[in-house]
A and B are shown apart, each in its own frame.
Chain A
Amino acid sequence: MEAQMAIKTVLFDIHSSLNARMMPFGGYTMPLQYTSIIAEHRATRESVGIFDTCHMGEFRITGKSALSDLERILSCPVTSMKHGQCRYGFICNKNGGVIDDQILYRIGDDHFYMVVNAGTRKEDFQWIQEQISKETSLEDLSDETAKIDVQGPKAPKLLAKLLDDPIDDLKFYTFKQNSFKGVSLISSRTGYTGEIGLEIYCNNTIAAEFWHACTELGALPAGLGARDTLRLEMGFPLYGHELDSNRNPAETGYTRSISPDKEFIGSSVVLDPTRLTESLVGITMEGRRAARHGDILRSSSGEKIGIITSGSFSPCLEKAIAMGYVATKYAELGTPLLVDNGKQQLHGEIAEMPFYQESTCRKAIAKFL
């Protein structure tokens, strides 16, 4: 049923013409892979990959009280954001669980743009609508907005050729208004792969033309499969795996996304150190056999200490890696543990994240132009 009712993105016909294998995701039918997850993953690390991320949601929030409303709704500090800056943060419920993770864009003093996950978009919108002041305007721009990620060490040069305005001034987690063939769009120095590149937000009408222009210059179409292995190598959380409505986001260790000195919805739990019982950890497995979401983590003596939230073979490390939550006393680097998948106990140990250490996302863009 889900596949039949799934929404097609504006790039669906392109995926079909490339014989992509499609999968349901967040209510959409999305490309899992075009040829090979590993090849698409490596192309993004070594050259440039292009991803359809049109399924993601985009909101516009404006008005004199937008800033104070967002300070209350989001875990991250908002007032300190400069125009043209992006910030990652959590939308929490009153119990301190995560409704969604998002990236906030500050366009002006009273003008913000928020990017949220596809599967949670409707719930996010309703929640935010309920929390904001009467004079704050919230609009869902998702249905008219296409999002295309172009990522990898060759992405900046490729994008610089296509975009009308230069991108050499874009620092990590900043954005600017730009255009392609005179049609305006947002070019954002963000991403979910760990590689340098941009996320482009444009009107649906130019999405296919922009995609073709990128692939003609050598960007390799990459699906959600590679997007997932790329983010896992970086230790980035994925909603529904590392984050959900019962998870205290302080347990992710993303302290920079949680303001310690403001009140926000859920802060009575999130900022209370006694409510921190588990820690998000990276795990490297002994071999190629992957741990999977839901597998039980046990100490060497067999005691249940946590759960796997994501796991896969890592194309760059050429072994299996995973993320999971463990009771904080077991979170020390190097701690050996067992992954119980119901049939076997696999050996692993707590490892440093990101797993992949050569990522380019934070490097100066000038080196790639």
Chain B
Amino acid sequence: MTPDDRKYAESHEWIKVDGDVVVVGISDHAQESLGDITFVELPEVGAEVTKGSDCCVIESVKAASDIYAPLSGTIAEVNSELDATPELINQSPYDEGWMFKIKGFDAAELETLLDAAGYSSFLENN
């Protein structure tokens, strides 16, 4: 269920290296917890983000939740499909529901993130 081709943050974002960028989305557990997603406020392309800072908002029917940058860097691209169809995150959290890409990240920061097995056991223990 948890793809092992990427890393995970304890705040439930996934991070997949794709050449010189990382792709960021939220985990299946996170989308399930949020429920029906109705709106996504994406960061601006070119914005500088710092690991752990809020950079994006996901709204579900019941509440708004901040999404944190899992790595420091610059926003390279955002998934503008989510403007009209935010439910892509519910339907395909690991693929079509990706949220943004970060460039200029520090590869060493990647090592601080969890792998799939580590994230799965984090979920079991929390």
Partner pick for A289 among B36, B39, B62, B63, CB 8 A cutoff:
B39
Task: Report A-chain residues with C-beta under 8 Å of the C-beta of B27.
Answer: none
Query: In the bound complex, do residue A313 and residue B38 qualify as a contact, i.e. CB atoms below 8 Å apart?
Result: yes
Known: A225-B61, A313-B61. A36 touches B35 (CB 8 A): yes
A288-B35 in contact given A313-B59, A313-B61 (Cβ < 8 Å): no
Is A312 interfacial (CB-CB < 8 Å)? yes
Set of chain B residues within 8 Å of A315, measured between Cβ atoms:
61
User: Chain B contacts of A312 at CB under 8 A?
Assistant: 61-62
Question: 1/0 per residue B30-42: CB within 8 Å of A?
Answer: 0000011011010
Interface residues on B, range: 10 to 19
Number of interface residues of A (CB under 8 A): 18
In the complex, chain B residues whose CB is within 8 Å of the CB of A289: 39, 41, 59
The A contact surface, by secondary structure, is mixed
Residue B86 lies at the interface, judged by CB distance under 8 Å to chain A: yes
Tell whether B64 is near chain A: CB-to-CB under 8 Å: yes
How far is B63's CA from A32's CA once the two chains are assembled, in angstroms? 13
Q: How far is the CA of A256 from the CA of B39 in the complex (A)?
A: 37
Tell whether, in the assembled complex, residue B38 and residue A288 are in contact, meaning their CB atoms are under 8 Å apart.
yes
Binary CB contact string for chain B from 48 to 91 against chain A (1 if under 8 A, 0 otherwise): 00000000000101111000000000000000000000100000
Contact of B36 among A37, A287, A320 (CB under 8 A): A37
CB atoms of A292 and B64 under 8 A apart:
yes
Q: Are B39 and A290 in contact (CB-based, < 8 A)?
A: yes
Per-position binary interface string of chain A over residues 277-297, scored 1 when its CB falls under 8 Å from any chain B CB and 0 otherwise: 000000000011110100000
Q: Is the pair A38, B61 in contact by a Cβ cutoff of 8 Å?
A: yes
Closest chain B CB from A365 CB (angstroms):
30
Query: Who on chain A is nearest to B32 by CB?
Result: A21
A193 interface residue per 8 A CB criterion = no
Residues in B with CB closer than 8 Å to A32 are: 62
Question: Which chain A residue shows the least CB distance to B61?
Answer: A37
* Chain A residues with CB under 8 A of B64: 290, 292
Q: Which of A313-338 contact B (CB under 8 A)?
A: 313, 315, 320
Q: State A94–B22 Cα separation when bound (angstroms).
A: 62
Residues in chain B within 8 A of chain A (CB atoms):
35-36, 38-39, 41, 59, 61-64, 86
25 chain-A/chain-B pairs, Cβ below 8 angstroms: A21-B35, A33-B35, A37-B35, A37-B36, A37-B61, A37-B62, A38-B36, A38-B38, A225-B35, A225-B61, A229-B61, A287-B39, A288-B38, A288-B39, A288-B86, A289-B39, A289-B41, A289-B59, A290-B59, A292-B63, A312-B61, A312-B62, A313-B38, A313-B59, A313-B61
By Cβ-Cβ distance, the 5 closest A-B pairs, closest first, are A313-B38, A288-B39, A37-B61, A38-B36, A289-B39
Given contacts A37-B62, A38-B36, A315-B61, 12 further A-B contacts (CB under 8 A): A36-B35, A37-B35, A39-B36, A225-B61, A225-B62, A288-B59, A290-B59, A292-B63, A292-B64, A312-B61, A312-B62, A313-B38
